Amino acid sequence: MNRRTWLATAGAGVLPAFGAPSREAAKIKITQFEVFRVHVNRRGNWVLFRLRTDAGLTGIGDASHGGRDDLKVAGLGKQFFQLVEGKSVFDIEPFRKAARAEIERTRRPAAVAFGGIEQCMWDIQAKAIGVPLHKLFGGMLHRKIRCYANVNRSTDRRDPAGFAATVESGIEAGFDAFKLAPFDGMSQESAAEIERDTQLGIDCIAAVRKVAGPDRDVLVDAHSHFDRERGIDLARRLEPYNLFWLEEVARGLENLAAINEAAKMPTAGGESLFGVEAFYRYIAAGAADIMMPDIKYTGGLLELKKIAAMAEGAGLPTSPHGPASPVGNMSAAHVCATMPNFQILEFSHGEVPWRAELVDPPEELENGRLTVPGRPGIGYNLNEKTIQRYAP
């Protein structure tokens, strides 16, 4: 197949057999950048990126920060696009090197913007050679990706009945694992108020465990609201609820390591860390039993694979963090499918009823399991009608 024929078929969406266009695929250059914002709820918007190439191929990525600065993330995406414009879609490491200074200066928003563009590049790479994304990360070990329902983002009534009701809806949707963060908003003013809010959080966990029953998993995120002493006490008080894990109780590696040592249940964390260097320190400190890299924060899909491999070497499972859109969830799921030490993936349950329709074909989730598609790339295109309907 000559270059002219390859470009024509790629632009029409007809992909040659694997291996045939390898020399021509390497010449594909990035030419255009697009941003889409989709209103979700009070917690913020989804931010989606799309790159276009001179071969007519496109790739999509998730840059949803979950905060109120999605316009800043979009602006940083445009800034980072300048680093890849006219460059090969295969130059992931050069892009990371060029973007690193801005990521270190701006921190999370820049990391998210970088991750969104990096996902787009991987999507295009896989499409260029006609394979699903997981083929580029070592091949599939897990076709069905178990997900836990993060009910925290969709629970407005922050009391035991409110959390229990959201978990009930998750059970109806087929999930068998649920995460809540019942200590959000707790007071730090006085010992009495801290104890009051701690007990309220424990009561919420008790209500969720009652609804979930003994055979479903309950996960708790403490969002670093505790110090070392109170964190150790919290772990002791949560022992009766048979948690799947207790997540990020305190700040500081030494505090996390002390709580991890004392806790009888598994601990998890690392969602906001960027890069293998930060995770190396986290693992070496014994901060948690389960690593939770997030593709939006940690440096994208390649960094996720590196971190998972490092955790595997330390004998630790990897359970990627990711309250994301269907684009972010499936991008991560492709890498999860290749991990020998994969455990479970985060999934935001109940945020919007039209979630699955954001992508084409619709997101396929059954019994709390995402099916990793065999289509080229991540296997999705954006449903622009849905995006237009819910634009902020």
Instruction: Give me the mean pLDDT over the 169-174 stretch.
Output: 97
Of all residues in the chain, the percent with pLDDT exceeding 70 is: 94
Read off the pLDDT band of 364 (50, 70, 90): very high
User: Where along the chain do its domains lie?
Assistant: 3-130, 135-373
- For residue 362, is pLDDT > 80? yes
Q: What is the percent of the chain where pLDDT is above 90? A: 84
What phi and psi values does residue 260 have, to the nearest 5 degrees? Answer: -60, -40
Q: How far apart are CA 49 and CA 60, in angstroms?
A: 6
What's the Cα-to-Cα distance from 32 to each of 208, 247, 248, 301, rounded to whole Å?
A: 47, 39, 39, 21
Tell me what the mean pLDDT of segment 90-102 comes to: 95
pLDDT band (50, 70, 90) for residue 7: very low
Q: Which residues contact 257 (CB under 8 A, 6 or more apart)?
A: 285, 286, 287
At 347, give phi and psi (nearest 5°).
-145, 125
The predicted pLDDT at position 118 comes to 98
Q: Which fold has domain 135-373?
A: TIM Barrel (3.20.20)
Residue 343 in this model has a pLDDT that exceeds 70:
yes
Predicted confidence at residue 5, as pLDDT, reads 33
Q: At residue 23, does pLDDT exceed 80?
A: no
Span 362-379, mean pLDDT?
96
pLDDT 10s digits, 267-300: 999 999 999 999 999 999 999 999 999 999 999 9
3-130 — its CATH code? 3.30.390.10
- Residue 12 pLDDT greater than 80, yes or no: no
Query: Which pLDDT band holds residue 147 (cuts at 50, 70, 90)?
Result: very high
pLDDT at 11: 35
| Mean pLDDT score of the chain | 92
Indicate whether 186 pLDDT > 90: no
**pLDDT score of 187:** 83
Structure token digits, residue 139: 């091949």
Please check the confidence at residue 52 and state whether its pLDDT lies above 70.
yes
Which tens digits make up the pLDDT trace of 228-281? 999 999 999 999 999 999 999 999 999 999 999 999 999 999 999 999 999 999
Question: Are 327 and 357 within 8 A, CB to CB?
Answer: no
